[in-house]
Amino acid sequence: MGSMPIGIDDSNESSFLWLAPFAPPKGWKNVPRGGMCLCVFLFVTRGGQVLLGRYADHPVWEKLCGMDSGRVKANARGWTIPASHLKFGEDPREAARRIGEEVLRLDKGLAYSEPYVKTFFYEPAVAPGEKHFDVLFLFEVTVEAGVNVNKPPWYEALEWLDIRMVQRESFARQHQDVADAWLNKGA
């Protein structure tokens, strides 16, 4: 399937993102050429620290989170916030719980926050001259001090860090922007 042109009717200076076969006369009719992602990020906190990981080159990432091996390798160089693309029809709250229970193997029954939603619209390196649209659902779950979180085999490392002290260049691609959004959500 090739890239479709963006169908936008802005004759009335209104452009709504509505991707459906029965799209209205005004609005987007195709996915932007630069693509779009609907993602959930889970900030697991304990005593002022956040659980960050480094991806291992493991084939399970595509099944767990919708990340192909190229994306895993590109992000393996830095610290990541546990995250996943949404599955078709999946509620973001269910995705946050899935990240906690399936990706990180946290205990069931933890209390997850309601989402903080952040959007980014930018020119991606893989599609120069085009725009990419990210809609991110940021959740938080707190685990008690002393709760042991074991590193799953699909992580190279999983550590508790003060996210404010991690240098920007130590994060994987765009994870610092997500961390900044979470840290500044009340501002």
CATH number of residue 88's parent domain: 3.90.79.10
* Coil, strand or helix at 179: helix
Are residues 160 and 105 located together in one domain of the fold? yes
Which residues, other chains included, contact 170 with Cβ-Cβ below 8 Å and sequence gap of 6+? 78, 79
Q: Which two tokens stand for residue 21?
A: 């076969």
Q: Which domain holds residue 125?
A: 36-183
pTM of the model: 0.83
Write the pLDDT tens digit of every residue in 167-180.
Answer: 989 999 889 999 99
Q: Are 50 and 44 in contact (CB under 8 A)?
A: yes
Which H or E run includes 55? strand 49-55
Write the pLDDT tens digit of every residue in 18-52.
Answer: 455 555 545 556 677 788 889 999 999 999 999 99
Are residues 70 and 7 located together in one domain of the fold? no
Are residues 88 and 18 located together in one domain of the fold? no
Are residues 149 and 102 located together in one domain of the fold? yes
Are residues 135 and 54 located together in one domain of the fold? yes
Q: Are strands 83-85 and 116-122 parallel, antiparallel or unpaired?
A: unpaired
Helix %, strand %, coil % of the chain (to 5): 20, 30, 50
d(CA 145, CA 141): 13
Q: Is the pLDDT of residue 15 over 70?
A: no
Q: How many domains does the chain have?
A: 2
Are residues 26 and 96 located together in one domain of the fold? no
